[in-house]
Structure 1
Amino acid sequence: MTTEATVQGEQNDGVPELENLTLSQRAHAHLREEILSNRLPPGTELQELALSQRLGVSRGPIREALGRLAAEGLVTVRPRRGAVVHSLSSEDFLQAYQVREALEGLAIRLAVPRLTPPELDELQRLTDTMETHAASGRVTEFFEANAVFHERLVDASGNAKLQEIYRRLAGQMHRYWRRSLVLRGDLRRSVSEHRAILDAARQGDEETAARLLADHIRVPQIRMQSMTADELLEAEASFERKEEA
């Protein structure tokens, strides 16, 4: 079977298949989800043969999938040695946030004059949802609502190329969500920041909205630069213990 054959039904690993995906696309989607969910944590060795056996496809589609993951910055391919899940360095984290700040700053300046009442109402509902989850300590649900809020702002920009670049970056940054929440601290403060951004957008004040958004995105960067590596590791470990409790 060629790498361009489509897959239907469900594989033995229990992962539902989407019709019209090639084998390499299926392998890419499966591995990408495992990396982003941390089921394949940083440093994990990815051998073509082992992945081929686990996913039930030949090594050709696996090789193509690893190439796509490398292009997305999620793995590092090593000639004749397979690949390894890319580590989450502090430098990568800070650089990703710097790019995100620039992209979202442009997005909100483009979006504010275009936002419709239904779009503003959706942003309001997402902010209310974040507040509910922050109050009850449901950090995963908070993160999901937060991610959608920012995606909707980018969508409202009307710039397809900006949306494309942002989604690629957002996919990589998904791996940082625990670290982001650890560094952000009080989630209720984050909710207040979102409300202020939304209020400025409702008033049509794109410059104020952009400034508030930049301040919001800089919070994790500033905190990270003030912490030692050991302090960050301990904060992340404490966060994980609370999640498991």
Structure 2
Amino acid sequence: GELQPGDPLIERDLAEKLAVSRTPVREAIQRLKTMGLAVQVSRKMVIVAKPTSEEVINTFDVREVLEGLAASRAATNATSEDLIYLENLAEEMEQCIAINDDDKLEELHMLFHERLYRASGNKKLYQLLMDLRDCIKAYTHIGYAFPGRKSEASQEHKRILEALISKNSRKAEEWARKHIKRSKEAYIRELQKDSQI
């Protein structure tokens, strides 16, 4: 979140700031371009991309299907450690909602989904979902701004967790897909409220 859409990505400056050589920075910028998070605007200039609302919505659509698959697989493959970790995160998220700590809530939310993806046991699925999440990470807070969405999302996380604990693949997939679909709907409603789409 430090760099905003339109900010330049200057290899030399980033390498100095991160105290690394320019080679890994160059590779990272190339990966960002591949993911659509950076755009080459001239031969020497790369900037932080600003996805359109349509691109964000399309990403939600793909994420809904893949997240459902991850939850379904996690219902079979999650370890007791995974379940305890997810349970603790769900409780901490509720506490954040109660005290309006949105920064911590967003961090915990990301950790919940990352662990869910990992618990699927499918490394390719994990990587695809992490890339999709990273593509719209900066926009997920928009949906949380919609009244009641934080509490609704918290309940959805609990339903996903219940399905994982009971090893119900169908319910886990159903609730994971609902969660992403409702997040997308909240994002759209919030943009419409602000007349951005």
Whether the TM-score (by the shorter chain) exceeds 0.5 is yes
What's the CA shift string for 1:18-55, capped at 9, x where partnerless?
xxxxxxxxxxxxxxxxxxx2x21012234556657767
Amino acid at match of 2:47: V
Give the drift of 1:79.
Answer: 3.2
Equivalent in the alignment of 1:218: 181
Equivalent in the alignment of 1:159: 122
Asked if the contact 2:142/2:187 (under 8 Å) is kept, the reply is no
Count how many residue pairs are aligned between Structure 1 and Structure 2: 196
Asked if the contact 1:105/1:214 (under 8 Å) is kept, the reply is yes
1:153-192 equivalences in 2 (<5 Å)? 153-183=116-146, 185-192=148-155
Match of 1:85 among 27, 44, 48: 48
Give the drift of 1:230.
Answer: 6.4
Match of 2:80 among 117, 121, 128: 117
Q: 1:83 to 1:129 in 2, by over 3 A?
A: same
Q: Does 1:96 align with 2:64?
A: no
Q: Does 1:146 align with 2:109?
A: yes
- Length-normalised TM-score, structure 2: 0.85
What's the CA shift string for 1:124-171, capped at 9, x where partnerless?
111000000010000111111111111111111111111122222222
Q: 1:90 to 1:117 in 2, by over 3 A?
A: same
Q: Does 1:75 align with 2:45?
A: no
Q: 1:72 to 1:153 in 2, by over 3 A?
A: same
Q: Distance in 2 between matches of 1:60 and 1:159?
A: 30
Q: 1:137 to 1:170 in 2, by over 3 A?
A: same
Asked if the contact 2:72/2:169 (under 8 Å) is kept, the reply is yes
Q: Distance in 2 between matches of 1:168 and 1:228?
A: 23
Give the drift of 1:205.
Answer: 1.5
Structure 1 gaps of 5+ residues are: 1-36, 234-245
Q: Distance in 1 between matches of 2:16 and 2:115?
A: 39
Name the SS for the 1:84 alignment partner. strand
Asked if the contact 1:184/1:220 (under 8 Å) is kept, the reply is no
Amino acid at match of 2:115: R
**Structure that is richer in helix per residue:** 2
- Length-normalised TM-score, structure 1: 0.69
Equivalent in the alignment of 2:95: 132
Q: 1:47 to 1:161 in 2, by over 3 A?
A: closer
Q: 1:63 to 1:151 in 2, by over 3 A?
A: closer
Q: Does 1:41 align with 2:4?
A: yes
Structure 2 gaps of 5+ residues are: none
Q: Distance in 2 between matches of 1:171 and 1:162?
A: 14
Q: Distance in 2 between matches of 1:128 and 1:94?
A: 29
Amino acid at match of 2:128: I
Provide the aligned C-alpha RMSD in A: 2.6
Q: Distance in 2 between matches of 1:169 and 1:179?
A: 17
- Return structure 1 stretches of 4+ with deviation > 6 angstroms: 52-61
- What's the % identity of the aligned pairs? 31
